[in-house]
A and B are shown apart, each in its own frame.
Chain A
């Protein structure tokens, strides 16, 4: 039995010990925004925030989140309004197929929380663990730059 807060809502779940956090979010909670891309924590498609810190949820046990707070891409928008990072990705065209996008957005949000005015180098270094097969990364970086420009620190 674990008790975790996901996007502000407390859940008590009876999950087997081998349940990964990603599978818990997707199957036990229906939050399918986070994706399983590689299954070994490398590609970033499963990125969520655990107590505000970005982690690979595919290699975290659900039990690791017991008593903790998780933020997924579904938790970013407020009352029908997209989070500034999400809006920036829409406006700048920061995605094509969209499979890596939740991970990109969650990671970018974590970046701007930690560093509201990152340089391009800082963006690249922070985001290096979020792989994308479609965009070639340019539009992703532009989106993050735009989001940084818009949000006043």
Chain B
């Protein structure tokens, strides 16, 4: 690693001041699992590392109608939180699938968003859930929809000097089921070949789909919504043919890169498969939710 200044501010304002001082030459670090790994490989060589470790106020998980996860909440905390498990079990499950427990003890929610690797799991589910990323800069705070937050591989909508402070996730409507599936033909701690998050909301009749959301990971330069597949489902009743059509439509929404987790063609094919399965599971979960209410 290169030599760098290490700063550990104790407040958000102090952190923003350090970022302003160093400009482009500073990188923010939280758990460091992604950034320190890249620095060890000399892919990133910042002049200053701003650690958020001692910044107070970013580590809370709060219920506020939906859920608000502070940027410094670790993956492990989100995974085992009774609040997250109860209100958004699909999100707890998604965090559980990331890497190993060692990684999850350090990697943070904010860091996962800011890193913007399209192979990561949490952004996929957060995209399906319609979450908002809370951001702070010297000019103030703003919220960015997850759909607008990811711009490209490793690139976000964060302006220079801005950092992620939290992510807020709306609660699910009644009669809604959700599923997150991670297709891992290699080791259990790897990134996905394809990841799919599906959320299905049923009409009061419990049969027809009112709304569907399908988000996909590892099949583009950012996580993606398969909107054409989603539209096929609205107003329809569950049927194998319907899900297959949605799977086919989802394949047209993706633009995978060939890498050691699969060729572009393979990832495209598996997109179809995983979307069908995730939708099936989400639909069943929606039915169960509908029957309970």
A residues whose Cβ falls under 8 Å from a Cβ of B:
16-18, 20, 39-42, 44, 47, 50, 53-56, 58-61, 63-64, 66, 126, 128-129
**A129→B100 CA distance, assembly (Å):** 6
Segment 170-229 of B: residues with Cβ below 8 Å from A: 188-189
B residues whose Cβ falls under 8 Å from a Cβ of A:
1-6, 8, 29, 32-33, 36-37, 39-41, 49, 51, 53, 76, 99-103, 105-106, 188-189
**A66→B3 CA distance, assembly (Å):** 18
- Pick the contact of B2 from A18, A20, A60, A128 — CB < 8 Å? A18
**Given A54-B105, A59-B32, A59-B33 in contact, is the A44-B100 Cβ separation under 8 Å?**
yes
**Given A17-B6, A61-B6 in contact, is the A126-B101 Cβ separation under 8 Å?**
yes
Q: Is the CB of A40 within 8 A of B105?
A: no
**Chain A nearest CB, measured from B58 CB (Å):** 16
Sample (8) of A-B pairs whose CB atoms are under 8 Å apart: A17-B49, A18-B3, A53-B76, A56-B102, A59-B33, A59-B36, A60-B106, A126-B101
Q: Is the CB of A41 within 8 A of B103?
A: yes
Q: Is the CB of B32 within 8 A of A129?
A: no
**A128→B101 CA distance, assembly (Å):** 9
Q: Is the CB of A60 within 8 A of B3?
A: no
Q: Is the CB of B6 within 8 A of A63?
A: yes
**A39→B103 CA distance, assembly (Å):** 13
**A66→B4 CA distance, assembly (Å):** 17
**A44→B189 CA distance, assembly (Å):** 12
Give the residues in chain A near B105, CB-CB below 8 Å.
50, 53-55
**A20→B36 CA distance, assembly (Å):** 9
